[in-house]
Structure 1
Amino acid sequence: MRPFRLAAFASSLVAATTLALTGAGAAQAAGSAAPVDYVALGDSYSSGVGSGGYDSASGDCKRTPRAYPALWAAANSPSSFAFTACSGARTNDVTSGQLGPLNASTDLVSISIGGNDAGFADVMTTCVLQSESRCLSRIATARAYADTTLPGRLDSVYDAIRAKAPSARVVVLGYPRFYKLNGSCIAGLTERERAAINGGADHLNAVTAKRAADHGFTFGDVTPAFTGHEICSGDSWINSLNLLNITESYHPKAAGQSRGYLPVLDALA
C-alpha cells in the first residue's frame, strides 16, 4: 500500500501546487488588466495637428481621434480618459490650463512639450523664408534656449504633474527628426539646413530626456520609429510645408501618430 499512498500524495501535491500557481497567475493577470485612469497633456504633437479629423469641440486646440493618446485609449479602454493637449501649447500653458483632470487616482500621463518654448515654429519659418546663415543662427539660438531656460520650465511642468498625480506613470514623448538626409527632395532647404534642423531635434530630445529622468519619468524616443519615414524619404509620416493649411506643416500625419508615436507609448505605458 505504501507505493500507492506515495503516488497518491505526489499526485495531490502536484494538483495543489498547480492550483496555487494558477490562482497566482490569474491574480497577476487580473492585476495587469486593472482599469487605468489616463490623462494626455501636451502640445500639437499630442493633440494630433497634421493628422486631420479634428474635433470641432476642441476649437483651436485641434484635438483629433487620430492622435496617439486617443488611439491608445480606443485600443486599451481605460476607465477614464482626459485629453487636454492643445495646439501651440508651451510649458506654462500646460501648468495653467491642462492639469485639471489629474488627481491621486491618475495612473498614466503622457505629454510632449518644449518644442514651442524653444521656438519650433519660428525656426522653421526662418529656415524656409530666409538665408542658410539666418537659419543656422536661429537654430543655434533655439539650442541655447534649450540648454539655459527650457530645463527650468520643464521642471515646473513635471513638478506640477507629480504633485497632482503622485502615483501616475508619466511618459514624456520626444520629437522626430524632420528630414532624411540625401533623400528624394530636389528643392527647398539645403542639406546643411536639414542636418541642422535634425540636430536641433536631437538636442531638444536630449535635454527633455534628462529632465524627465531626473523626475523619475519615462522618456519615449520616437526617432527610431520615424527613421525611414522623414520628409524626403519617399514615405514620409511628417507633413512638409503645407501652404493650404500652414499649421499642419512639419507635424506628423495620421501614419506618424498611429505608426510612429502610438507604438512608443504602447511599449512604455
Structure 2
Amino acid sequence: MTSSLARATRTASVVLTAVVTVAASVAGSTTAAAGPPDPIVYDALGDSYASGFGVPPYTPTCGRSDAAYPVQLDGRKHIALDDFVACGGATTLTVVSGGQLAALDAQTDLLTLSAGGNDTGWSTAVVACLLGGDETCTQASDAVTARITTLLPARLDRLYAQVAAAAPNAHVVVTGYARLFSPEYGAYLGASPAEQQTLNEGADLLNATIARAAAAHGFQFVDVTKRFLDHGVNAPDPWILGLSDPGAFHPNADGYETYTAAVTSAVNPSRLRS
C-alpha cells in the first residue's frame, strides 16, 4: 500500500506540474500575441486656435506651429497625430471648402475641431473696443452677438453633420475659446473694464452656442474658460498675446500648453476605438 501510494503521489505531482507549465505557456503566448494596442489615429481640424498661430515659427501656409495643442497631444495616451490640417482664418464654411474634411475617414479614432470664432466678426469687435469710442464698441459687440445667435447655430450644425459623416467612428472633441481679458486689472488701451467684460460675455455666448451644437451631435465640448481666468491679455501673467504682437489675441506658449492640458484631461482612451 505504501509503495502504491507513493507512485500515485508522484504521478499526481508530475501531472500537476505539466498542467501548470502548459497553462503558463498558453498565458504567455496569449500576452505575446496580443502585443501593444494600436495607436489612436488622431486628426486635427479647425482655425488658428487649433493651428497654433501666435507662437512662431509657422508653416508657410495656414500658420501651423509646433506649439499647437494637436502637436503637443501627439504621443500622449497612445494618441498618434495623423493629419494636422487646421488653418488660420478658417470658418465653419472654409473648414469644408478648404478641404480639411479630406483628412477624415473611417480609420479616424479621435478628432479635434476648433471653429466658429471667425464666423462672427469677433476680431473686428475687439479692435473696435480697443481703438474706438464707446458707441463704436457697443455697435460692434452687438453685431457679433447677433451673428452668434442667428447665424452660427445653423453653420455649426451643417459642419458637425459633415464631420460625423466623414469620420463615422471618431470621438469628436470640440474646443472652445478663451476669454481675452481680465477686467479686474483695469483698462487695456481704449477698452474699459466694463467693455472688456462685455467682450468676455461675448466669448461666453460663443462657447455656449458651440457647446449646445456639439452636444446635439454627440460631440464632446472642452471649455477652457476657467483655466484662463486671471491670465487675460492685460493680466500680470498673460496667456493671451497683446495687440502689438503679430499673433494678437491668440494664446502664447503658456496658453497653448493650457489648451493641451484641457484636451488631454478630457480624452478618455477607453472611449476611443483602438
TM (normalized to structure 1)?
0.83
Match of 1:6 in 2: none
Match of 1:37 in 2: 41
Q: 1:156 to 1:238 in 2, by over 3 A?
A: same
Counterpart contact for 2:187–2:193, Cα < 8 Å: no
Counterpart contact for 2:108–2:167, Cα < 8 Å: yes
Match of 2:219 in 1: 217
Instruction: Return the alpha-carbon distance in structure 2 between the equivalents of residues 150 and 77 of structure 1.
Output: 34
Once the two structures are overlaid, the 10-residue window that deviates more, 181-190 or 37-46, is 181-190
Match of 2:68 in 1: 67
Q: Does 1:83 align with 2:84?
A: yes
Instruction: Return the alpha-carbon distance in structure 1 between the equivalents of residues 129 and 211 of structure 2.
Output: 26
Residues 1-269 of structure 1 aligned to structure 2 (within 5 Å): 33-56=37-60, 59=61, 61-75=62-76, 78-97=79-98, 98-183=100-185, 187-242=189-244, 245=246, 248-258=247-257, 260-269=258-267
Q: Which structure would you say has the larger Rg?
A: 2
TM (normalized to structure 2)?
0.81
Q: Deviations over 1:198-218 (max 9, x none)?
A: 000000000000000000000
Deviation at 1:268, TM superposition (A): 2.1
Runs of 4+ aligned structure 1 residues displaced above 6 Å come to: none
Counterpart contact for 2:131–2:190, Cα < 8 Å: no
Deviation at 1:184, TM superposition (A): 5.7
Q: 1:227 to 1:80 in 2, by over 3 A?
A: closer
Counterpart contact for 1:52–1:254, Cα < 8 Å: no
Report sequence identity in percent: 39
Q: 1:93 to 1:187 in 2, by over 3 A?
A: closer
Match of 2:4 in 1: none
Instruction: Return the alpha-carbon distance in structure 1 between the equivalents of residues 195 and 157 of structure 2.
Output: 30
Instruction: Return the alpha-carbon distance in structure 2 between the equivalents of residues 54 and 99 of structure 1.
Output: 22
Please tell me the residue identity of whatever aligns with 1:142: V
Q: 1:235 to 1:49 in 2, by over 3 A?
A: same
Instruction: Return the alpha-carbon distance in structure 2 between the equivalents of residues 199 and 125 of structure 1.
Output: 16
RMSD between superposed Cα atoms in Å = 2.8
Deviation at 1:189, TM superposition (A): 1.2
Q: Deviations over 1:99-133 (max 9, x none)?
A: 11100110011011110001122112222221112
Instruction: Return the alpha-carbon distance in structure 1 between the equivalents of residues 260 and 79 of structure 2.
Output: 15
Please tell me the residue identity of whatever aligns with 2:251: P
Structure 1: stretches of 5+ with no match in the other structure: 1-14
Deviation at 1:173, TM superposition (A): 0.3
Q: How many residues align?
A: 246
Q: Deviations over 1:9-53 (max 9, x none)?
A: xxxxxx9xxx9xx99xx89x978x541111100111011111222
Counterpart contact for 1:183–1:232, Cα < 8 Å: yes
Please tell me the residue identity of whatever aligns with 1:68: Y
Instruction: Return the alpha-carbon distance in structure 2 between the equivalents of residues 90 and 115 of structure 1.
Output: 7
Look up the SS of the partner of 2:45 in the other structure.
strand
Counterpart contact for 2:183–2:194, Cα < 8 Å: no
Look up the SS of the partner of 2:117 in the other structure.
coil
Counterpart contact for 1:146–1:207, Cα < 8 Å: yes
Q: 1:147 to 1:36 in 2, by over 3 A?
A: same
Q: 1:124 to 1:80 in 2, by over 3 A?
A: closer
Deviation at 1:175, TM superposition (A): 0.4
Look up the SS of the partner of 1:182 in the other structure.
helix
Look up the SS of the partner of 1:236 in the other structure.
coil
